[in-house]
Structure 1
């Protein structure tokens, strides 16, 4: 079965993921050959500093010349794990134009430039595989593109950022406040030195843009995703959520509606009976709903060196099979439709609202009146403790257009009886 056949690949980047891919390819060498009918050989590794010693990787593989890789006819697969938009975008484009197959783990690139890249892949009959770009080791891209292609998908929601899930788990289970939990996540290496992309929801936003594009066969880019992070969530919010039977998670949510695609990332109260509520610490999970397939959930390690490397290598093995059977580029672009992406103001949500209100006659009725006048219907309203003439009120609304809810909030901010709006969180 062509046991002596070799397929040569180049790695772009030898950081955490790149060195993980090299290591895993070595560990799986025999298996890869049995699964594909060819040996995988990583011939070159592109790095900024080829003189730097990297443990476990032979020095002669390193190069700082992209041209050397691009112009090598033996190299059939380019594995891009350098991250960032440039020069990764240029390298990926040039590789495919030269007829090389590409495997990437780059969510930033795909969430912004997926469409033009897939066009180049289609024109050149190339594979562009990217399982590792979303949720690390969890297989979700291939199921969306292949296994679930026979079902009209209508909704995806997921915990697709381990850092924020770890922070919210610590706040929820150990009563830590946000800063304390973030410091702990940083110490354990779950959070970057600059955690902005994680805690503000940008990382999750890129992943949900990629999943929405595939699920609904229509292009969604990261700038179209409404993102709200977890920095304003307090121990108090978590306490109330528990009391009402909810857990707070940062969710990426995308839905197919009659008017277009809703796509947003925000902290969400989900019922503690929902499967996503039990996903703790740095684990990720993606929940998919479709007309024919009903509900399906994918859960696992969403990041880390070896989980991500395993997703990259899975794609490489797929590409090797395609090379051997002459079937590269068979999937091509995912966006066959041109559906509008709805403005967040035109989407619908339920809301949890916490207010500090002057404890005087008619105050509650005033607030209920403002909500009612703006088409916000109340599912639950509870007056909590009051001290020094101030009462705390918690409201959970029914499904409401975000625009109407925001109008009601603007009016409340100007009301003399409302001392403070302490928290607003969406409810699933």
Structure 2
């Protein structure tokens, strides 16, 4: 278990333009080498990130001096890389026939949230192709319909005929289609999954930007790229003495493989984690967090679940307390994300929050509202999205509750965030 304590929140002045101003360096720090953040950022984001490093790095007035380290946490997919490494791995598994027929041909054993309609569709498309526990030939012409059904359930949360594939989950702590990828890895060891992910990584980094690949009878995205600016930021933060982590809603061994390319070790990755049988192979059940027991499958690294896993794995908070916002001294100083799945751990960051704009409602409502002056927004570094024509519906539908109902996004003081125009693209 890794226990880290974030540096205390400093009182930082904010100019009219939103620039964070660090106090003068403390005496005796002149010999400390300054870490410089590289170029390629939007607006004054590079300057804001530089001041974060100057303020909280080992050379700054609130630097740890080697005794404790300020924590920085990054989401992975579409935050540090362009495209989704979970998707890349799923497509590789389907193309190479590495997913197994479930026990007794019963697809409900793969996810407690799978609907009868989805289980029936999967059994109809995949049932005749392989014995229980053996790999499905989804990379062959005869297995194309099975690959298509699996890919539809995974990618659209619906069957090929449009029936809902999942039901009954908490929208703030899990996403069953994300979890399903990890659950479909049952029967393989972590080492084997890392091998599959490494093969997918090589293919997707080698493929040209914009490439597609054949999956089943259709096509899917076939390329991934690291964002140079984010790799540089990770490198700079680590050099300045930050304790840098990844929190991702892709499977643990998959993110471990990709994070190595950004200089982050496996023990600083928090992904979706399977339970493991006595034979060392993954089961279809997932590890729990906070008050949620292993096998309940209801608390993955997703929205409030990311908060729980960060509190548990980085700061050593145990039990139900891990599900709650912690004191500032036990929270990350910096966080970066691109989606509503990241909103809770971004809000928990005490100094600066970097948002990569992918037009996600709740995230952009809070980032553009910027009620405490600690949010910065950057367009996607590769193929940035165009400006969203309509304002984000913050005041009416900026928040999705646990049961899937929508409502206004609220500030910490419970006031309603007004609709926000898209201004960074």
User: TM class by shorter-chain length?
Assistant: under 0.3
Report the structure number with the largest CA radius of gyration.
Answer: 1
Greater share of strand residues, 1 or 2? 1
Q: TM-score, normalised by structure 2?
A: 0.26
